[in-house]
Chain A
Amino acid sequence: MIRRGDLNFSDKIFYWVLKSLAFGIIGLLVVLFILLLKMSWPIFSKIGLSFYFLNEWNPVTEEFGAMAFIYGTIATALLALVLSLPISLGSALLVTELANLHVRRVLGFLIEMLAAIPSIVYGLWGLFVVVPFLRTDVQPFLGDYLGFLPLFKGPPIGVGLMAGGIVLAIMITPTIATICREIFLTIPKVYKEGALALGATRWEMIQLSVIRSSLSGILGASILGLARALGETMAVTMVIGNRAQISSSLFSPAQTMASLLANEYAEASSEIHMASLTAIGFGLLLVSLIVNSLARIIIWRVGRIYRRSK
């Protein structure tokens, strides 16, 4: 630790420059917060926080409520998580516990590459590949055999919650898989060998010493994936169908908070419409911050436990 008094003059300047840059980042966040709040004030002063609980969106009659978009956001993100978790866990386990060195490297690299694909490319793929496939094959099949469930009711349109969830699932898989892999790698080898030495098979060893000791880490990774799914915009906008409605069916079109902003911000004319959109942005920022912090805290605590026991 360097005491400030020990620095000479040029180092003092350097220190203050770096310090102001670092705190500038935090300042930026604070400014963003204040600005969003200020810009959305017209809608809050008109109907208060009930804005987030009303299911009404009509820019023409100037009726605004965000419930449908909150629902769309949560539904697609949760669907993405449910679809992504088994894939992510499976690939992380394969890479850390089962595959040989060569497969480990190649597969780990490929999974991380998924994160580098631009979101608009996922959107195009979703629109031209996933949506037609859902419309002609998956949804008619599900409708025929599981149509009695509210989840699979309605006409097979293709675009909608299901398409959004699937595209998001692939987008959040690298996040969850990579973090799970990191967590599995922190588990001391002595636990894995302890299980193997007792005559555990691979799967029994994974249950005994890997899964059991990384449950909270897996939870943290899932929440982080969820956070990414909540904020993802472009790819979802292209496949979600863009309709403000709450429906229990995964076949039906919907709208997320982020995709609504992408769609309407450029065309918003009235002050109250603009304020409502900003209020949605404000809500999204708040939720993302909370969810992200929660995930980071959980993951950090898991890492700390094993760092101590090593």
Chain B
Amino acid sequence: MPNSQVQKNTILEVKELNAWFGDFHAVKNINLKVEQNDILALIGPSGCGKSTFIRTINRLHEEVPGARVTGEVRLLGQDIYKMDPVKIRRQVGMVFQKPNPFPGLSIFENVAVGLKLSGIQRKSILTEIVEKSLKQAALWNEVKDKLNEPGTSLSGGQQQRLCIARALAVTPPILLMDEPTSALDPISTARIEDLLQDLKKYVTIVIVTHNMQQASRVSTKTAFFLSGELIEFGDTSQVFTKPNKQKTEEYITGRFG
């Protein structure tokens, strides 16, 4: 490939992306690139389109009746809107705002579910990957003796780390997190923030957050959204200390939002 130098590091490339709910234009003409081992934080006030944007990356946005997307999203160079959404979602991990372990499945089964969906049946392989994923999600020590108990029996913070393990099990190149700590207490939140620094080694992360301190603590890149537009995108240190746009400065200094 002629441009392999560029593609080696670019995990995600978004070009002229627009998203609608019916007539409502929720995401307007977004262009950005995410490189390997980045943690990109998406910040902005409620309703600014950051959650909608993250949901276009694994094509979950279109599951909402009346929703529509135009533009290009390239994951590892492949245009995901020209592919089967089911295949795309197997390569993109996602963690939601509210922990959502599947009811009726054990801790083990919850982590293994993605692997089973991709056709892996062998018990020995499943056991190995489940252990590895739970260790990556820093949950192994707490659950190793009760893998057969229901996933829903864990505490909220543990459930969220279980969901992170579930997403990591299929070794996705990219992990999307939609306000993953907003339903958690401060201690669980701190644990997940610490965890993100470890995860950076294995996976590129895009995280939506309401909390600007969190964005400045955990991320390497920051994108500021307002009314569906990408106002500013750059290194986190630059966006938080010397923002180029006045709107960004007003938002991060708490003048609105």
Contact = CB atoms under 8 A, between A and B. Distances in A.
A197 B58 contact: yes
Interface string A198-211: 11110010001100
B134 interface: no
Interface residues of B, number: 30
B103 A196 contact: no
B86 A194 contact: no
Contact of B103 (A193, A197, A198, A213): A213
A100 interface: yes
B111 to A, nearest CB: 11
B63 A196 contact: yes
Contact of B117 (A100, A188, A200): A200
B117 A198 contact: yes
Contacts of B58: 197
A110 interface: no
B60 A193 contact: yes
A308 interface: no
Interface stretch (B6-14, B90-98, B206-214): B90-98
Nearest to A100: B65
A101 B166 contact: no
A212 B104 contact: yes
Interface string A154-192: 000000000000000000000000000000000010110
Interface residues of A, number: 19
Q: Which of B63, B92, B100 has the most CB of A within 10 A?
A: B100
B45 interface: no
Interface string B50-85: 000000001010010110000000000000000000
B234 interface: no
B173 interface: no
A208 B112 CA distance: 13
Contacts, number: 67
A229 B103 CA distance: 32
A190 B178 CA distance: 12
A139 B144 CA distance: 58
B177 to A, nearest CB: 11
B166 A213 contact: no
A194 B63 CA distance: 12
A198 B96 contact: no
Contacts of A212: 102-105
A209 B96 contact: no
A191 to B, nearest CB: 6
Contacts of B113: 198, 208
Contact of B87 (A100, A190, A195, A199): A199
A213 B150 CA distance: 13
A191 B103 contact: yes
B103 A199 contact: no
Contacts of B91: 199
Contact of A197 (B65, B87, B94, B105): B94
Contacts of A194: 94, 96, 100, 102, 163
> What 6 A-B pairs have minimum CB-CB distances, sorted nearest first?
A199-B90, A197-B94, A199-B89, A194-B100, A190-B100, A213-B103
Interface of A: 100-101, 188, 190-191, 193-201, 204, 208-209, 212-213
Interface of B: 58, 60, 63, 65-66, 86-94, 96-98, 100, 102-105, 113-114, 117-118, 163, 166-167, 170
